């Protein structure tokens, strides 16, 4: 293990190429109001179980596209009333909902990202309008047309304890994990996914309404097949790129992972041109109408799974030990971060929740060195701050307690 790089260098703000410099939360889970000023590459949050460490990471994760690291419903994030107390409220914020804002430094330039919930009237299905809550997103106080545009400004990678079971859980979780990797590189991927979801919901609704409008269904199937194939192609391309990157940049500590996709459309794309696959996709949707109408079990082909193998041992990740699975995940996200730096020049922000659990000291310290060498900002949570004392010269330590977060001075 090489720790000297970390030990010898004092906090050096310019070394980190992309970082959050100030974070503000309002009405966010257990925080009525919280502001953190940040300057170090490592941000360590320590506190007892239930003190609110993951909540801070979740708030940061809302600076990127999607439903945050807990995949939460927008309504469950707002501070529950029992915690309500008078606190200062900053300007940007909508008093009724929750909001997160951050000052970001990226390659020497500063900008702000703000996000808050708002109610809008939306077309939720065929001929149906509904009032829904959605996340409004601002860059430098200018509203973006969609949160899918956030990928152009920031990329955030996270690893949480619930992901320790990623290889045991269902394909949907692994697909989401992969999709986040894809849209870190291909910002259009997020837009395609939400467009597909929207079309699919309309398609289902028409079928279930009993009021079948065939030309509308045909039009939806036409669009879904185009977007569905583009989604599969992007996933397939990303898996190939990541495998190549991992093979060409083997890690000395974390095991080499081999990724593949188990999905009809992705497999078909190996052999057939995209136009042929789109026709197949459209026909399959047409054939699926029947199963939706008659509530039959619908195997579907949009259920692609991400398969991961511990390459050296040739063992599927699901059969690896807990520590090995965690190491494989770390290996994948480190490769993702490095490859992002190679392709875009800008490091992601890493949110590592309880990352030291299941890692031996060698792996934990190696991870810290690797993160440091990537010139990125890493957020670490722990119930025992001693776990991260190795990086104290490059870290800010915060104590999370009583619904607030205070900086600790560690000598
Ligand atoms: N919407 C909400 N309003 C108020 N409090 C909330 C809300 N959602 C969750 N909480 C509270 O936040 C706390 C959990 O915070 P969090 O998960 O961040 O803790 P943690 O420090 O990460 O704990 P652990 O070490 O167990 O992972 C719980 O006490 C929970 O009741
Ligand atoms: Mg937690």
- Atom 15, ligand 1: which residue's CA is nearest? 52
**What would the pLDDT profile of 214-225 be if each residue is shown by its tens digit?**
999 999 999 999
- Atom 13, ligand 1: which residue's CA is nearest? 50
Please identify, by atom number, the ligand 1 atom nearest to the C-alpha of residue 80: 3
Distances in whole angstroms, Cα of residue 119 to Cα of each of 75, 78, 94: 11, 14, 11
Question: Average pLDDT, stretch 248-255?
Answer: 94
pLDDT score for 211: 83
Residue pair 175/304 in contact by the 8 Å Cβ criterion: yes
- Atom 29, ligand 1: which residue's CA is nearest? 50
pLDDT score for 82: 55
pLDDT tier, 278 (very low <50, low <70, confident <90, very high otherwise): very high
Chain-centre distance for alpha carbon 66: 7
Maximum Cα interatomic distance, the chain, rounded to a whole number of Å: 71
CATH of 1-155+356-361+383-411, one of 3.10.129.10, 3.90.25.10, 3.30.70.20, 3.40.50.300: 3.40.50.300
pLDDT score for 23: 98
Q: Which of 374, 408, 410, 407 is nearest to 391 (CA)?
A: 410
- State the distance from the centre of ligand 2 to the C-alpha of 291, rounded, in angstroms: 41
Q: Could you tell which of 26, 28, 29 is best to mutate to test the pocket of ligand 1, judged by most ligand atoms within 8 Å of the CB?
A: 29
Please identify, by atom number, the ligand 1 atom nearest to the C-alpha of residue 77: 1
- State the distance from the centre of ligand 1 to the C-alpha of 54, rounded, in angstroms: 7
- State the distance from the centre of ligand 1 to the C-alpha of 156, rounded, in angstroms: 21
- State the distance from the centre of ligand 2 to the C-alpha of 48, rounded, in angstroms: 9
- State the distance from the centre of ligand 2 to the C-alpha of 353, rounded, in angstroms: 7
**What would the pLDDT profile of 364-388 be if each residue is shown by its tens digit?**
999 999 999 999 999 999 999 999 9
CA–CA dist 342, 331 (Å, integer):
16
Question: Average pLDDT, stretch 198-214?
Answer: 90
Protein residues with CB under 6 Å of any ligand 1 atom: 29-30, 47, 49-55, 76-80, 83, 383, 400
The alpha helices in 99-213, defined as continuous H runs, are: 171-185, 188-209
Distances in whole angstroms, Cα of residue 30 to Cα of each of 25, 43, 79, 385: 10, 19, 6, 21
- Atom 26, ligand 1: which residue's CA is nearest? 49
- State the distance from the centre of ligand 1 to the C-alpha of 51, rounded, in angstroms: 6
With 50 as the cut, is the pLDDT of residue 84 above it?
no
Extents of the domains making up the chain: 1-155+356-361+383-411
With 60 as the cut, is the pLDDT of residue 83 above it?
no
With 70 as the cut, is the pLDDT of residue 127 above it?
no
- Atom 5, ligand 1: which residue's CA is nearest? 30
């Amino acid at each position: 293990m090489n720790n000297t790089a970390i030990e010898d260098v004092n906090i050096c703000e310019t070394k980190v190429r992309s970082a959050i410099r100030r974070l503000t939360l309002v009405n966010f889970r257990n925080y009525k109001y919280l502001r953190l000023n940040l300057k170090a590459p490592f941000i360590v949050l320590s506190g007892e179980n239930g003190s609110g460490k993951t909540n801070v990471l979740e708030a940061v994760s809302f600076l990127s596209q999607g439903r945050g690291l807990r995949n939460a419903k927008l309504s469950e994030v707002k501070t529950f009333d029992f915690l309500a107390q008078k606190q200062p409220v900053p300007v940007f914020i909508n008093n009724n909902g929750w909001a997160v804002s951050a000052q970001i430094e990226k390659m020497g330039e500063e900008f702000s990202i703000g996000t808050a919930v708002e109610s809008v009237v939306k077309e939720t299905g065929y001929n149906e309008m509904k009032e829904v809550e959605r996340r409004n997103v601002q860059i430098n106080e200018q509203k973006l047309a969609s949160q899918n545009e956030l990928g152009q400004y920031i990329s955030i990678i996270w690893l949480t304890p619930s992901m320790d079971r990623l290889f045991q859980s269902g394909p949907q979780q692994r697909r989401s994990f992969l999709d986040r990797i894809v849209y870190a590189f291909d910002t259009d991927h997020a837009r395609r996914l939400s467009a597909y979801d929207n079309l699919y919901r309309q398609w289902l609704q028409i079928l279930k309404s009993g009021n079948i409008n065939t030309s509308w269904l045909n039009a939806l199937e036409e669009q879904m097949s185009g977007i569905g194939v583009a989604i599969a192609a992007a996933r397939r391309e990303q898996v190939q790129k990541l495998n190549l990157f991992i093979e060409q940049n083997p890690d000395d500590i974390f095991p080499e992972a081999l990724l593949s996709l188990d999905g009809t459309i992705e497999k078909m794309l190996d052999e057939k041109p995209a136009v042929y696959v789109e026709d197949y996709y459209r026909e399959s949707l047409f054939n699926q109408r029947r199963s939706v109408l008659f509530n039959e079990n619908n195997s579907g082909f949009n259920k692609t799974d991400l398969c991961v193998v511990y390459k050296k041992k040739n063992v599927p990740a699901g059969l690896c030990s807990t520590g090995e699975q965690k190491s494989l995940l770390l290996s994948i996200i480190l490769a993702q971060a490095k490859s992002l730096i190679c392709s875009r020049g800008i490091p992601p922000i890493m949110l590592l929740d309880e990352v030291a659990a299941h890692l031996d000291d060698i792996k934990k310290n190696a991870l810290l060195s690797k993160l440091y060498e990537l010139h990125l900002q890493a957020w670490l949570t722990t119930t025992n701050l001693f776990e991260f004392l190795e990086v104290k010269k490059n870290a800010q330590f915060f104590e999370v307690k009583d619904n607030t977060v205070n900086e600790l001075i560690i000598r």
